[in-house]
Structure 1
Amino acid sequence: MGSEDASRVVVPRNFRLLEELERGEKGIGDGTVSYGMDDADDVYMRSWTGTIIGPQNTVHEGRIYQLKLFCDTDYPDKPPIVRFQTRINMTCVNQETGMVEPSLFPMLANWLREYTMEDILIGLKKEMSALQNRGLSQPVEGNEEQRMEAKGLVLRCSIL
């Protein structure tokens, strides 16, 4: 009974997500990353939104990146699905879908239960500053029309 495994307490999924929600609502560090629930009525707490303000001295400086994080029922044992809503050019992001490719982002590829959504956002911000990403040309700022179609959104304007 003296082993580390016996003394290790596994926090249930919902408690863990409530802790993350509380931390996200309070604000993180220097305020350049934030996150919260996408839908307050989602009792399973699966859909989350994240924001990263691009790091200084990179092509990302001054840009605001919106992300979606989807925590399925096996989170935190398995990583969330992470997708940039805002178009971005990074080596770990699929240019067509905005998905962060787990095989190209070590934190997702080598996921540990202790990692959080905050860790992912901070890790992605650090990745923006990495040598291979800091100077990549970026798509024009603004809403990504191609991805809006993929989300099934229809924009309509009426003149009354």
Structure 2
Amino acid sequence: MAGQSGEVVIVPRNFVLLDELDKSEKAVGDMTCSYGLVQPDDIWLNHWNGSILGPTSSQVEGRILQLLIFCGKEYPKAAPQVKFISKVNFPGIVSDTGVVDVPKVLSKVGASRQWDSKMRIETILKDIKKALTLPEYRKVLQPQDGAEYS
């Protein structure tokens, strides 16, 4: 972010995450993707829950997909680590663990799309949701609704 005199202002990590927490608690944004802290007393704001309502015209339409999100000390300069709790079968998601290959998912929704420090937790959830609707995944068989990674 550039200030009035052209200097670059870097917003501290916790300020960014507190803003995201505030937006999530006030339900600002895409209501088919939600997120919040795993533990309300997580003073480092590292561990988040996420959910995606399975998009229309996808193999997971209407399902509520649960995820875990970890925002490390380099966030938002570096992408959060994302892992599905709900079992899904899509490229970009490690089949035996549910870990999301964030660069792969971003590249699926935009040829040159990469993580940048302006992106947020909601951004990655919306991009995952968008990737789930791509035509090449419409015939991919999915685990039974309710199945979870161990």
Q: With structure 2 as the length reference, what TM-score do the two structures score?
A: 0.87
Letter in 1 for 2:76: P
Conservation of the 8 A alpha-carbon contact between 1:24 and 1:36: yes
Greater CA deviation, 2-11 or 133-142? Answer: 2-11
- CA drift of 1:24 comes to 1.1
Letter in 2 for 1:119: T
Distance 2:21 2:60 in 1: 26
Conservation of the 8 A alpha-carbon contact between 2:23 and 2:29: no
Letter in 2 for 1:116: R
In the other structure, the counterpart of 1:66 is 66
Q: 1:92 to 1:28 in 2, by over 3 A?
A: farther
Structure with greater Cα Rg: 1
1:118 aligned to 2:98? no
Could you say what secondary structure the match of 2:83 adopts? strand
Runs of at least 5 residues in structure 1 that lack an aligned partner in the other structure: 149-160
In the other structure, the counterpart of 2:139 is 135
Letter in 1 for 2:138: R
In the other structure, the counterpart of 2:110 is none
- CA drift of 1:136 comes to 1.2
Letter in 1 for 2:122: E
Could you say what secondary structure the match of 1:132 adopts? helix
Larger relative contact order (CA 8 Å, sep ≥ 6): 2
Moved over 3 A (4+): 2-6
Distance 1:56 1:5 in 2: 46
Same amino acid, percent of matched pairs:
37
Q: With structure 1 as the length reference, what TM-score do the two structures score?
A: 0.82
Runs of at least 5 residues in structure 2 that lack an aligned partner in the other structure: 108-112
- CA drift of 1:105 comes to 1.8
The number of aligned residues is 144
Letter in 1 for 2:7: S
Could you say what secondary structure the match of 2:135 adopts? coil
- CA drift of 1:134 comes to 2.7
In the other structure, the counterpart of 2:75 is 75
In the other structure, the counterpart of 1:22 is 22
Conservation of the 8 A alpha-carbon contact between 1:88 and 1:138: yes
1:38 aligned to 2:38? yes
- CA drift of 1:29 comes to 3.7
- CA drift of 1:61 comes to 0.7
Could you say what secondary structure the match of 2:132 adopts? helix
